[in-house]
Amino acid sequence: MSLEINNLFSVKDKVAVVTGGSRGIGEMLSSGFLANGAKVYITARKEEALVAKAAELSDKFGVDCIPFAVDLSNLDGVMKLVDYLTEHEPNGIDFLINNAGAAWGAPYDQFPESGWDKVVDLNLKSPFFLTQQLTPLLETKGTSDNPSRVVNIASIDGLHVPFMETYSYTASKSGIIHLTRHLAKTLVSKNIIVNAIAPGPFDSHMLGKAVNFDYSLIADSVPRKRIGTPEDIAGLCIYLCSRAGAYTVGETITCDGGSIKTL
């Protein structure tokens, strides 16, 4: 037993996969792993920007950040990533961070099928099938003392009703929270631990577009009077993936400056 902080929270020499890892919360999570010595595979649809971001992060942290451009909203894309990881990491992976996501807003009586399918496919279907198909690689690395981890990035909008009319987004994020519990029950016997994080407002392309990248009003509405920072979200994710989080199973932890519990 070691209670030293470097042991409790270490992710050094681990292999992490972060979907949607080139910007926003995904970049924050990727940076947190890289800064602490983990190799990170990041995915996104836009190859040029993804490759540039991977090179930037590799240079910044001195650890391999490996890009793989793919559309994970369908099973074909999921299998392309699975095949790539199986080839390049035959000894398994330690962490899967299901972060890639999309949103869509439209009035209730005009909400389109396309806006429903795009969001639910990426936010809910993709994490299930990616976890399902990567279970063998996660199981290869997981042990009783040091289980592999899956962390699903949900949202506080899956826990409350937001002001914006984002019906498919709230449904998908509520769904991923319950799916987290179900997967946790299924996979814990395989030495794979599943948890979720429900972020509040963070600097991201998705939220930024909705508020013209002016977060001042949102920050004022948060009890902590600011939006989230990379340290907030990366620190929580590292906790869940480290020895310190090895007995936390099936939980959804909010990271929202107190918005859900204190307002």
Identify the CATH number of the domain in which residue 160 sits. 3.40.50.720
Q: What are phi and psi of 63, to 5 degrees?
A: -135, 150
Dist CA 41 CA 64 (whole Å): 8
Q: Indicate whether 132 belongs to any domain.
A: yes
Q: Indicate whether 111 belongs to any domain.
A: yes
- Determine the pLDDT at residue 214: 84
Range of the domain at 222: 12-262
**Is the pLDDT reported for residue 209 higher than 90?**
no
- Catalytic hit among 84, 169, 239, 247: 169
Q: How confident is the prediction for the chain on average, in pLDDT?
A: 96
Band (pLDDT 50/70/90 cuts) for residue 211 is confident
**Is the pLDDT reported for residue 256 higher than 90?**
yes
- What's the token pair of residue 154? 């949900």
- Determine the pLDDT at residue 116: 98
Tens-place pLDDT, residues 23-64: 999 999 999 999 999 999 999 999 999 999 999 999 999 999
Q: Indicate whether 1 belongs to any domain.
A: no
Q: Indicate whether 6 belongs to any domain.
A: no
Q: Indicate whether 45 belongs to any domain.
A: yes
Classified as helix, coil or strand, 110 is: helix
Q: Indicate whether 7 belongs to any domain.
A: no
Residue that is written with structure tokens 């399902």 in the block: 132
Dist CA 199 CA 254 (whole Å): 6
Dist CA 240 CA 79 (whole Å): 26
Q: What percent of the chain has pLDDT over 70?
A: 99
Q: Indicate whether 2 belongs to any domain.
A: no
Amino acid at 52: A
- The mean pLDDT of 86-109, rounded to a whole number, is 97
How distant, in Å, are the alpha carbons of 36, 38, 117, 255 from that of 15? Answer: 12, 6, 31, 24
Is 169 considered catalytic here?
Answer: yes
Closest CA to 194 of 232, 163, 148, 160: 148
Q: Indicate whether 39 belongs to any domain.
A: yes
Number of domains the chain is built from: 1
